[in-house]
Structure 1
């Protein structure tokens, strides 16, 4: 039944739903591709109209709960139905987690110390170790009460997830305060991530932060295999979304999902193996190109450096920009770029550096200063061209002036938009 044909319900109907516990719990799997298993189930609540037999979507259900008392009562009955529905599975399989949404607007000084969730979980004989409390912190009006809530339930061995991360006006400063065990990346960030480098970089930043903080990243709202493969290649292993399964009542295995997971895991293994081999061949060709350029520059008089660099761009496909630094990180040549690859629409952002520019803090210079002969950066957006590139820096001896210099070469890496 769609929301377009749903008979309107009133606040009176809502109170009857709460009093009778007319809530249906649907579960959506949370899938680990590397483990090839469902590791968790998110409980999603829907109302049930006994008279019509219609399912009432959560947007309608919670939209009617405008006052704090009604919102708290609805939140608690939803938790109760979720725990009771999950208890049967927990008795059979102690490895699967239950993710429960908590309305952060209900966490306040008035509810502090009620321990409602703890009592519920104990009554249903569910181990707290198997429960993830999902919180959307942006809805919280009492931060002190929320922090106390999180501290209390973490001590009781519950896990804490921060939901809708990356959506709207998420307050990232709350992450160090709540210290979540799970970061759930919002669908708005996941949608089309395989085609949008800027979205991917934001997702990567959350993965890097999570790795340092010791928490897990879950991609929510995954709808395509391409999104899944892209995120898997960039450090995300746990997924939830329509691509794997829609929310549904019951706890039975989703038909065909195991085959889908196996196929994706095999595809990932194949892609990574192929990519590693391609990277090896690509960087071998880069090394040969850079070595050839360095050998040519070593015999080139200082006044002829710019002309030689221009010739290198013409001769070597994939070279976007080249420039030469001294061993202090100062630029001693112009930055020569392939004019066909410069982003003319963003010249105020992306401008090739000039002679005398200081590169001493750049990622491609510091390893050379530390003693390496050659260094290759991760892909990034070049400030010279505005394109995705990899910078390779290499020391060479300039015979004409009798000193060591550093050749820096920006190689086009548009093939790395998703890192597959």
Structure 2
């Protein structure tokens, strides 16, 4: 991953020049022959193939045909760029891999959402089970009012497949920090998701996050950054370095989805997060399932040993809330306590 992946990407023009290059001369010849065979006019200058397009639908069709024609190895070697001018007139093009380019043009609507930050934050309350008071809020990415509709999971999935994951993840973190500064009073925690794979160098990649918190006047102690549920822990040492970078700034960290998939008790002991979030699948009807009850008790005991605070996700019934409280769970979140609402509405109830 490079710093370029955190920079805004270029928009697609309705017409222009589509440039392709590769470090493999044989593949370049094969690509040129492919265009000639399909009666697509092509120019070849400075080891770059260029074709003109007069509509985005035409460009998408060409790219999808290329994707079917060439194997994964070949497609992985192709790099693409768009310009209104020739290569000679614009020598410093912004090149991206063909697989990333294809995903961007296939999902131009989601690309616009990421590029122009056409999203907002919703907030869901997190309750202190002992006092029955709001402890903090989790901030969630949602479409803006009267803007393009999208599914947040699909947006992040597209971002990952198109090389825009770091850009989207960073924008989402900063948006959550800024909106929380306006809506949530000091002393309340703000739980903000992040993708470890979008952060290749913690101190460098998180600099904008730390700067945003300082400029918004948010107390670092009030920020809790959590590993999102879609992220697999492939490199635990790398994740440790990210959590440490947050903690060195006075911020807190949370490990999500304990009891499901990749998040195990051994991972919990090794990472020693400030907060532990029990997966909703373990919480759902836990008052009726002995296996789930045993898992909850194990997580609570392990968290107690390492000094972590436990939060139960997905509480939808009174019985679930009462059971986890009896088990020693301190915090809870779910529709039983409140659904996510636009963050600007939080100020009406939080202050």
Quote the offset at 1:61 in angstroms.
1.3
Partner of 2:183: 89
Tell me the CA shift for residue 152 of structure 1: 1.6
Unpaired stretches in structure 1, ≥5 consecutive residues: 1-8, 258-420
Residues 17 and 48 in structure 1, CA contact (< 8 A), matched pair in contact too? no
Name the CA distance, whole Å, in 1 between partners of 2:226 and 2:302.
19
Contact map agreement 1:186 1:219 (CA 8 A) in 2: yes
Rounded Cα–Cα distance in structure 1 between residues aligned with 2:128 and 2:307: 17
Contact map agreement 1:10 1:64 (CA 8 A) in 2:
no
The structure with the largest helix share of the pair is 2
Partners in 2 of 1:256 and 1:17 — Cα distance?
29
Closer/same/farther in 2, CA of residues 162 and 35 from structure 1, 3 Å limit: same
Structure 1 segment 92-111 matched on structure 2, within 5 A: 93-109=185-201
Tell me the distance in 2 between the aligned counterparts of 1:238 and 1:208.
Answer: 15
Residue in 2 that maps onto 1:169: 262
Give the CA deviation at 1:250.
2.6
Q: Distance in 2 between matches of 1:205 and 1:126?
A: 34
User: 1:208-251 deviations in whole A, cap 9, x for unaligned?
Assistant: 11112111100000110011111111111311001111111035
Structure 2, unmatched stretches of 5+, are 1-104
Q: In the TM superposition, what is the alpha-carbon distance from 1:197 to its structure 2 partner? A: 1.4
Q: Distance in 2 between matches of 1:161 and 1:175?
A: 10
Match of 2:173 in 1: 79
Question: In the alignment, does 2:204 pair up with 1:113?
Answer: yes
Q: 33, 48, 72: which one pairs with 2:129?
A: 33
Contact 1:222–1:241 under 8 Å retained in 2? yes
Counterpart-to-counterpart distance in 2, 1:43 and 1:252: 13
Q: Is the 8 A contact 1:11 1:65 kept in 2?
A: no
- C-alpha displacement at 1:172, in angstroms? 3.1
Determine which structure has more spread, i.e. the larger CA radius of gyration: 1
CA contact (8 A) 1:161 1:182 kept: yes
Q: CA deviation at 1:255?
A: 10
Q: TM-score, normalised by structure 1?
A: 0.54
Say which of 238, 248, 272 aligns to 2:331. 238
2:186/2:222 contact within 8 Å kept? yes
TM-score norm. by structure 2 comes to 0.64
Q: CA distance change for structure 1 residues 254 and 246 in 2, over 3 Å: closer, same or farther?
A: farther
Paired position in structure 2 for 1:415: none
Task: Please give the alpha-carbon distance, in whole angstroms, between the structure 2 residues aligned to 1:25 and 1:105.
Answer: 22
Provide closer, same or farther for how the CA distance between residues 243 and 85 of structure 1 changes in structure 2, counting only shifts above 3 A: same
1:5-404 map, 5 Å? 10-48=106-144, 53-67=147-161, 69-90=163-184, 93-109=185-201, 113-114=204-205, 115-136=207-228, 138-252=231-345
2: CA distance between counterparts of 1:255 and 1:229? 28
| Alpha-carbon distance in structure 2 between the residues aligned to 1:197 and 1:145 | 35
**More RCO (CA 8 Å, sep 6+):** 2
Residue matched to 1:274: none
Q: CA separation of 1:84/1:208 partners in 2, compared to 1, >3 Å: closer, same or farther?
A: same
Cα deviation code 1:64-98 (max 9, x no counterpart): 113473011111111122111111134xx212110
Give the secondary structure class of the aligned counterpart of 1:83. helix
